[in-house]
Amino acid sequence: DAGVTQSPTHLIKTRGQHVTLRCSPISGHKSVSWYQQVLGQGPQFIFQYYEKEERGRGNFPDRFSARQFPNYSSELNVNALLLGDSALYLCASSLGNTGREQYFGPGTRLTVT
Amino acid sequence: QKEVEQNSGPLSVPEGAIASLNCTYSDRGSQSFFWYRQYSGKSPELIMFIYSNGDKEDGRFTAQLNKASQYVSLLIRDSQPSDSATYLCAVPSYGKLTFGQGTILTVHP
C-alpha cells in the first residue's frame, strides 16, 4: 500500500507570492493534519481535517488555510508569503480524528526568497 | 513551561551501547505518547507508542512511561550507527500532536 504522498517535493517562492501544497493520505485514512517544521525544532501543528471538516487549528495567521476533498486528499494554502514561512511542511494521515498514530508524508520543502 | 520537553543533545553513544532518550510533559491528562525518528532531511517516522504505565518493548526499542512523574523515555539497545537521527517525543491532544524539539542521537563506531 502507498503511504502518504505530498507534492511538490521542493518549492522556491518569492515574498508576497501564494503557494499550494498537496497531500494524499494512506488509503482508508480519513484524517489529514498539516505541520510546519523549521530547522532544529519539532513540527508545529497547523490544521487537522477529518471527514472534510476542519477539526483543529494551530496558532498560525489567517494567511494559512486548508481544505479536504471528498477523496480525503488535502491542500494547504499560504498567501502573502514571508521569509519566515520557509520550512518543511508535513502532512500526516490517521484513521480517526483523535490525533493518535499519525503517519507522515515525505514533506514539501518551501524556500521563500 | 513547554508542553513537551526534550534535551536537544546531542547525545553520543558508542556502537553496541544503550541510548536513553527522555521526555517530560505538562498535561497530567495525557493518555498516550509517541516516539518518532527523523533522519536528516527526511520526515518523522513513527517507531513506538505507549498508552499505559510501565514498559513496552519492540525489538531493540523499549518505551517507558511514568504518568505520576509525567515522564516518558525511549531506550535503544545495541545501538547502531544507523540509529543516528533526531528522536521526537509527541503527545496527542484533541486531534493534534504536540512535539518536543527532539534529541539528536549520534552512534559512533
Kindly write down the DSSP assignment for every residue of A2-46, as one continuous string: ---EEE-SEEEE-TT--EEEEEEPPTT--EEEEEEE-TTS--EEE
Residue B99 confidence class, pLDDT cut points 50, 70, 90: very high
Is the preceding omega at residue B10 within 30 degrees of 0, hence cis?
Answer: yes
Span B1-28, average pLDDT: 92
Cβ-Cβ contacts under 8 Å, B49 against chain A: 100-101
Backbone angles phi, psi at B45, to 5 degrees: -120, 125
Span B27-42, average pLDDT: 92
Q: How many CB atoms lie within 10 A of CB A10?
A: 9
Residue A99 has pLDDT above 80, yes or no: no
Cα–Cα distance measured from residue A74 to residue A21, given in angstroms and rounded to the nearest whole number: 8
Residue A100 has pLDDT above 90, yes or no: no
How many residues does the structure list for chain B?
Answer: 109
CB contact under 8 A, A43 and B96: no
pLDDT at A101: 87
Residue A1 has pLDDT above 70, yes or no: no
pLDDT at B7: 86
With CA atoms as reference, the chain A residue closest to B38 would be A42
For B36-91, the pLDDT digits (tens) are: 999 999 999 999 999 888 899 999 999 999 988 999 999 999 999 999 999 999 99
Cα–Cα distance measured from residue B36 to residue A87, given in angstroms and rounded to the nearest whole number: 19
For B61, the enclosing helix (H) or strand (E) is strand B61-66
Cα–Cα distance measured from residue A36 to residue B104, given in angstroms and rounded to the nearest whole number: 19
Span A82-102, average pLDDT: 90
Q: Which amino acid is at A17?
A: Q
Backbone angles phi, psi at A85, to 5 degrees: -80, -5
For A12-46, the pLDDT digits (tens) are: 999 999 999 999 999 999 999 999 999 999 999 99
Residue B31 confidence class, pLDDT cut points 50, 70, 90: confident
Q: To the nearest whole angstrom, how far is the Cα of A95 from the nearest Cα of chain B?
A: 11
